[in-house]
Amino acid sequence: MKNTLRMSMLVAAVAFGAAGGSAAVTWWNTPWTRTSVAQERVALIRQNLARANDFSEAFKLTAQAVRPSVVSISSVKKAKFDTRLRQRPGARPDMQGMPDELRRFFGDSPFERMFPQMPDGEPSQEGLGSGVIVSADGYILTNNHVVSGADEVTVTFADGKQLKAKIVGADKATDVAVVKVDAQGLPAAVLGDSDSVAVGEWVLAVGSPLGFDQTVTSGIISAKGRQVGVTNGGYEDFLQTDCAINPGNSGGPLVNLRGEVIGINTAIASRSGGFSGIGFAIPVNMAQSIMSQIRSTGKVTRGRIGAAIQDLTEDLAKSFGYEGREGALVGDVVPNSPAAKAGLQAGDIVVKFQGKPVKTSSQLRNAVAATAPDTTAEIEFIRDGKPVTVKVHVGALSEDDVAASAADGGETPTPESLGLAVLPLTSELAKQRGLKESTTGMLVTGVQPGSVGDRAGLREGDIVVSVGNQTLRSVDDFRKTMTSQNLAAGVRLQIVRDGVTRFLFVRVNN
């Protein structure tokens, strides 16, 4: 019995060893394993620290390279006061020239009590921004809004030295300005290529936020090609960054880790007025082009081809048999313009300009504007599903705008699916809107709030000239054409608004 029990225990032990042998080995080797893991972790930490130190060194070296080229710019704008305020009839005796023994009976005038230290009644307003030196002989790039309207501009350099500067020129449409100081041998920054910048790339912003000069912040490029409306209809193609940018950073450089300036810090998106993680910089390629014109001619001249363009929506693209949304849709072509002479037509979709792909209407607008007048450019567009390439002789952009006046009229109901009221466009109504008297279409005199037409973007005063490919000449044409359309699938309208032709897509959602 005892021998049988011993044999059973031995078999059980062998079985346990066979089943758990690996566990037994692991247990006996635990001290060695722990030592090995600790050594590996130390090696990994050292490796990561080395990488972090290299990264930190890159930031440090970049800041050291660019900071000498960054300046603070203070501007003074004197507000003019009418000195006759001191001599209003019936107010109080003029204190000018009055003997001191009599002055004490009247005291100082209210004006003098309000502005005791201001000679000639001229208080001043001060502004603070940043700039970057772009040439050794004193040219400095900054923002227009930093120096706009300034009577005096003072530049403070990295070493604390101050010099008066003159405004060479400025461009409100891009918010670029150039100022110059009388100096030589200045540390000019290296200008990079903003077209090659990629989203996610590390960048530094340098400037004088809130008056703290030579401040360096870091972040990445968050997006490209932003239009945010800060130039009031100007030419915007901003780089977006999460570098900390605050008031006073305006005009300072945005640089890559090679120490190259790739942008000029311009604006922030903020509800509080301070940094909230979204900043915008003018691409340096655009700023450099504007600066070159300002330095050579003192003004900026832009190219023009005479075509009204708009972005594509998915529905508009499909209505033209075009796949995708990249490109610029031509809504209208000005008669006798470079675009008209080149053969462009409403409905063409521009996909390339000067060999470069066109993704949005803003991109095309900026590219045309940046093209020197009297040069020939190549445009590729899609018409009826086929690519067409033409040459266009770029003209010069003027400041003239086509204005449209309001009109009165009765109401004629259109199909309820649109919620519109329209009138036939008579020759007199067309003339009032600056259009050819032969122009035909329907004048929108009312839009029902929340209706299909309202959601599609139709507005009172719009002129609907075609539905699909059908030109409109009467209200009956409009009614019959709309009735024959499959509004569930959607229909394309061509309209004229404020003298400019564009397309809208109307669809009834089931």
Distance, in Å, from the CA atom of 361 to the CA atom of 310, rounded to the nearest integer, reads 5
Question: At 8, phi and psi to the nearest 5?
Answer: -65, -40
- pLDDT top residue among 162 and 308: 162
Helix (H) or strand (E) holding 342: helix 338-342
Distance, in Å, from the CA atom of 360 to the CA atom of 190, rounded to the nearest integer, reads 30
Both tokens assigned to 2: 């005892």
Both tokens assigned to 354: 């000067």
Annotate 123-164 with DSSP letters as a single string: -EEEEEEEEEE-STTSEEEEEHHHHTT-SEEEEE-TTS-EEE
| 89 DSSP 8-state letter | T
Distance, in Å, from the CA atom of 321 to the CA atom of 318, rounded to the nearest integer, reads 5
| 196 DSSP 8-state letter | G
β-strands 190-191, 260-268 pairing: parallel
Which structural domains are found in the chain, ordered by start?
67-73+126-297 (2.40.10.120), 303-396 (2.30.42.10), 412-506 (2.30.42.10)
**Which tens digits make up the pLDDT trace of 70-93?**
999 999 987 655 444 444 444 444
Q: How confident is the model at residue 34 (pLDDT cuts 50, 70, 90)?
A: low
Is the distance from CB of 237 to CB of 178 less than 8 angstroms? no
β-strands 376-383, 349-353 pairing: antiparallel
Residues in the chain: 510
**Which tens digits make up the pLDDT trace of 205-230?**
999 999 899 999 999 999 999 988 77
Cα 55 to its chain centre, rounded Å, is 30
- HSE of 157, CA atoms in CB hemisphere, 13 A: 19
Q: How confident is the model at residue 331 (pLDDT cuts 50, 70, 90)?
A: confident
Q: What is the mean pLDDT of residues 467-489?
A: 73
Q: How confident is the model at residue 391 (pLDDT cuts 50, 70, 90)?
A: very high
| 319 DSSP 8-state letter | H
Q: Annotated active-site positions, please? A: 145, 175, 250
Instruction: Using a cut of 0.85, tell me whether the model's pTM lies above it.
Output: no
Distance, in Å, from the CA atom of 111 to the CA atom of 95, rounded to the nearest integer, reads 11
Cα of first residue to Cα of last residue in the chain, in angstroms, is 89
Helix (H) or strand (E) holding 233: none
- pLDDT top residue among 92 and 368: 368
Environment class of residue 128 by beta-carbon count within 10 Å: exposed (0-12), middle (13-18) or buried (19+)?
buried
pLDDT for residue 158:
95
Q: How confident is the model at residue 30 (pLDDT cuts 50, 70, 90)?
A: low
Is the distance from CB of 261 to CB of 253 less than 8 angstroms? yes
